[in-house]
Amino acid sequence: MAKTKKSTAKQEIPKEKLLHMYKLMCDIRNFDEKVNYMVKRGMVPGMTHFSVGEEAANVGAIAALTEGDLITSNHRGHGQAIAMEIDLNEMMAEIMGKATGTCKGKGGSMHIADLDKGNLGANGIVGGGMGMAIGAALTQQMKKTGKIVMCCFGDGAVNEGTFHETMNMASIWKLPVIFYSINNFYGISTPISSVINVDYNYQRASAYGVPGHFIEDGNDLMAVYNKFVELVDYVRNGNGPVLVESLTYRWYGHSTSDPGKYRTKQEVDEWKKKDPILKQKRYLIDNNLATEEELNEIDRKSLESVEASVKFALESPEPTLESAFEDIFAD
């Protein structure tokens, strides 16, 4: 086995970055709560899947990346898109099918993408981003860019054939990619424990000769961030891929069409007590890193930004009929 290159990661976090991560978590929560409100009033076409409850798992991981790094996302990709600092106006417009959206209103909620921000796109196909991720990672390797790729997927995707194929290929070629399983315990209504014969997804890493890592509390922003600082440094140093799993929980059903009757109210309520935003708020206050007034102001401004994104989307034009024949081929 090749020698592991020494890590140089430092995990001291400036207050400015801590507050920015908190803002992104608030943006995810407020944005998805607003979209949920709008879906119920028939204002959003198509399917939507929410990241409420998974804010720390998304922000903590992506905050460890640097400018120029890339991600692939999945159908529950709002949190990852916002963590990559996508423009909220354009994202809301895309979800509402408007011409000013990130994909000109053609993709909707499950296909948010912004190449300028390093987001190669969400995907309505379970595991669909994995092939894209290793392709992008191979590009970084061949061009010697020093950049890495993070491939985000849910717990259910580990039983897709593409997971095993891409893990194997990434391992053989030592590609600079982090496979990130965000485990919220359910693939739609199917408990992950009923469809795998190991305790956790990360344990499958050993089959491909790559390190497997586990974040037991994916609702702890600092735990997620600190682990990913370590992993980003490891992968960037040419050591090949890793598989990491964090445990978190989605507060809502799989999608807006799912009432979540397979879960008990008690189970959902217990997880809501582990609210990642409140957990981080307590951490910042208890460690004298921010005041409650500062954090409340961040949340207030976040709500204003979300309301502004709705206004922008509502005032944006619908795509023209002619646009259906645009962006089909690349020159």
Judge whether 136 lies within some domain. Answer: yes
Is 223 exposed, middle or buried, given 0-12, 13-18 or 19+ CB atoms closer than 10 A?
middle
The pLDDT tens digits of the residues spanning 266-279 come to 999 999 999 999 99
Structural domain contains residue 306: no
Of 209, 150, 211, nearest to 178 by C-alpha is: 150
Q: Please, which residues have CB within 8 angstroms of residue 138's CB and are 6 or more apart in sequence? A: 173, 175
**CB of 83 closer than 8 Å to CB of 63:** yes
Distance CA 83, CA 81 (A): 5
Alpha-carbon span 305 to 290, nearest angstrom:
21
Nearest Cα to 22, choosing from 249, 277, 229? 277
Instruction: Give the strand pairing for 190-191 and 186-187.
Output: antiparallel
Residues in the chain: 331
Q: Whole-angstrom distance between the N-terminal and C-terminal Cα of the chain?
A: 43
Please give the distance of CA 213 from its chain centroid, rounded to a whole number. Answer: 17
User: Please, what's the b/e burial string for 240-272 (b: 16 or more CB within 10 A of its CB; e: otherwise)?
Assistant: bbbbbbbbbbbbbbbbbeeebeebeeeebeebe
Q: Is residue 191 part of a domain?
A: yes
> Would residue 9 count as lying in a domain?
no
Q: How many domains does the chain have?
A: 1
Percent of the chain past pLDDT 90, that is, above it, reads 91
pLDDT at residue 137 is higher than 90: yes
State the residue range of the domain holding 212: 15-300
Instruction: Compute the mean pLDDT over every residue in the chain, rounded to the nearest whole number.
Output: 94
pLDDT in tens, 301-313: 999 999 999 999 9
Q: How far from chain centre, in Å, is Cα 239?
A: 23
Would residue 58 count as lying in a domain?
yes
Distance CA 255, CA 19 (A): 30
- Cβ atoms of 111 and 103 within 8 Å: the answer is yes
Q: What is the pLDDT of residues 160-174, one digit of tens each?
A: 999 999 999 999 999
Asked whether residue 309 is assigned to any structural domain, the reply reads no
Residue type, 107: G
Note the pTM of the prediction, 2 decimals. 0.94
d(CA 133, CA 170): 10
The verdict on residue 264 lying in a domain is yes
List pLDDT tens digits, range 75-98. 999 999 999 999 999 999 999 999
We report the CATH number of the domain holding residue 270 as 3.40.50.970
Q: What is the pLDDT of residues 284-299, one digit of tens each?
A: 999 999 999 999 999 9
Domain contains 106: yes
Q: How far is it, in rounded angstroms, from Cα 313 to Cα 196?
A: 42
